[in-house]
Amino acid sequence: MTKPLRRAQGIYELEPGAFKIVVSLGRSDEGRYQQQARVVRGSLRDAKAARARLLTEADDGTVVGRSSATFGAVLDRWLEHIEGLGRSPTTIAAYRTIVQHHLKPALGARPVSTITTLDLDTLYSKIARVRKPSTVAKIHVVARGALKQAVRWRIIGRNPALDASVPAIRRPEPTGATVEELRRLLDAAEDDFATILLVAATTGMRRGELCGLTWSALELPKAGNGVATIRQVVIHGPDDRALVRPSTKTGRSRRISLDPATVAELRVHRARCRAAVKEWGGVAPDAFVFSPVPGNSHPYQPHTVTQRFARLCARVGIEGLSFHRATRHFAATQLIAGGVDVRTVAGRLGHSRASVTLDVYAHLLVENDESAAEFLGSIVTRRG
């Protein structure tokens, strides 16, 4: 075989009109010499220009040497990394399940530098035949996150998941419980759970926020509106323990106004809690508002709220209704239907941006838009 002719530094002529360009990438962590090579078709001038671009990419870190690390090892290292950054234990557990059941069996033994967009698309297509599109989307989130970190660690030069194709997810339009359904549930619920339902429906709080609510976070005047400050949430931690964490990643809290009826119900609930432990000196200010134990020293688990709600629905004969729909969606739908501006609704729900609220509840704005059209039309066409 004829040896390629060298025409310039790092450039070899393979045949007329075809050149191989080579750039040194130094030595790997294992001490092996690394280089990047590409074939360029055209003139010698084209080859020199292509090599100059490749040198720039190498200097910028866009091109890195081939790593011997497997995709499975990168996934494990990424999980440890995000766990150390304080990601939620429930999130870590969900990601770990995806890694063990989907990504490692299919691609874990492959060197991460050989993983391509086609490999990911092939895997996603195979999983999509037996799983929901939402499952494929979650797998993609994990693969993309791990490969993104691999780029930052200079293990690979580019994230192949960026161009991968994920099945479209058709989210059903969220609907809340009817007023009649909610009243039936409130009438049938035990005292403490009726209070949980009422507060959730009038504030739109999430389950974890309700469970993490403390008496010190409430302002409950004898008359008028009150205030609830959302500072923390409860999540389901390891060994079936309740973990209390800040309500947001930035640690910022949010204040929600409470209507007089909800304030009155919370005052009655507080009196019940105090009466239950009167001989122990009452309830501490930092005690939880909703608790399964006297003294309110421990919070409810979010899944316990879900289980109690399911039993309540079965008792009153309501099917297909979740706690989330009966309370949070109920609050959002009623506020939007009542003409409350989206920014205010977003603030009460704790959405980071009003655009998030618009994405979720856009279908509810159609009736408001029709009313707006009629209102403007009546103004413009009015005579005299």
**191 and 326 together in one domain:** yes
If one counts the domains in the chain, the total is 3
Question: What sign does the CA torsion over 101, 105, 109, 111 have?
Answer: negative
Give CA–CA dist 48/247, Å, rounded. Answer: 55
Residue 233 within a domain:
yes
- Closest to 71 in 3D by CA, of 125, 146, 138, 136: 146
Cβ pair 119, 160 in contact under 8 A: yes
Residue 81 within a domain:
yes
**188 and 326 together in one domain:** yes
Model pLDDT, residue 64:
47
**263 and 226 together in one domain:** yes
322 burial level (CB within 10 Å; 0-12, 13-18, 19+): middle
**290 and 184 together in one domain:** yes
Radius of gyration of the chain (CA): 29
**236 and 321 together in one domain:** yes
**250 and 310 together in one domain:** yes
Residue 354 within a domain:
no
**207 and 141 together in one domain:** no
CATH number of the domain within which 149 lies: 1.10.150.130
Token digits for 163? 């161009």
**48 and 79 together in one domain:** no
**Residue that is written with structure tokens 């709220």 in the block:** 305
pLDDT in tens, the chain (384 residues): 455 666 667 888 888 888 888 877 666 556 666 677 778 888 888 888 888 877 776 655 554 445 568 999 999 999 999 988 888 888 898 999 999 999 999 999 998 888 999 999 999 999 999 999 989 999 999 999 999 998 888 788 789 999 999 888 776 666 678 889 999 999 999 989 999 999 999 999 999 999 999 999 999 999 999 999 999 999 877 667 778 888 776 667 899 999 999 999 999 999 998 888 775 556 777 899 999 988 888 899 999 999 999 999 999 999 989 999 899 988 888 888 788 888 898 889 988 888 878 777 776 666 566 666 766 677 676 655
> Which own/partner pairs from 258-261 qualify as long-range (CB within 8 Å, at least 24 positions apart)?
258/202, 258/203, 258/218, 258/220, 258/225, 258/226, 258/227, 258/228, 259/202, 259/225, 260/223, 260/224, 260/225, 260/226, 261/202
**304 and 199 together in one domain:** yes
Please name every residue paired with 5 in a beta bridge, in sequence order, or none if there are none: 13
Give CA–CA dist 93/71, Å, rounded. Answer: 19
CATH number of the domain within which 276 lies: 1.10.443.10
Give CA–CA dist 37/298, Å, rounded. Answer: 62
Residue 358 within a domain:
no
Dump the DSSP string for 310-343. Answer: HHHHHHHT--S--HHIIIIIHHHHHHHHTT--HH
Where among 137, 163, 189 does a domain terminate?
163
Residue 380 within a domain:
no
Cβ pair 106, 115 in contact under 8 A: no
Q: Could you give the maximum distance between any two Cα atoms of the chain, in Å? A: 97
Model pLDDT, residue 41:
86
DSSP 206: -
Residue 379 within a domain:
no
**312 and 242 together in one domain:** yes
Residue 268 within a domain:
yes
Where among 163, 188, 216 does a domain terminate?
163
Please name every residue paired with 174 in a beta bridge, in sequence order, or none if there are none: none
Cβ pair 139, 99 in contact under 8 A: no
Where among 289, 315, 331 does a domain terminate?
331
Crossing angle between the packed helical segments 330-337 and 191-203, to the nearest 10 degrees: 40
**232 and 306 together in one domain:** yes
**310 and 190 together in one domain:** yes
Say how far residue 11 (Cα) sits from the centre of its chain: 48
Residue 241 within a domain:
yes
Percent helix, strand and coil across the chain, each rounded to 5?
Answer: 55, 15, 30
Contacting residues for 100 by C-beta, under 8 A, at least 6 apart: none
DSSP 239: G
Range of the domain at 108: 71-163
Model pLDDT, residue 245:
82
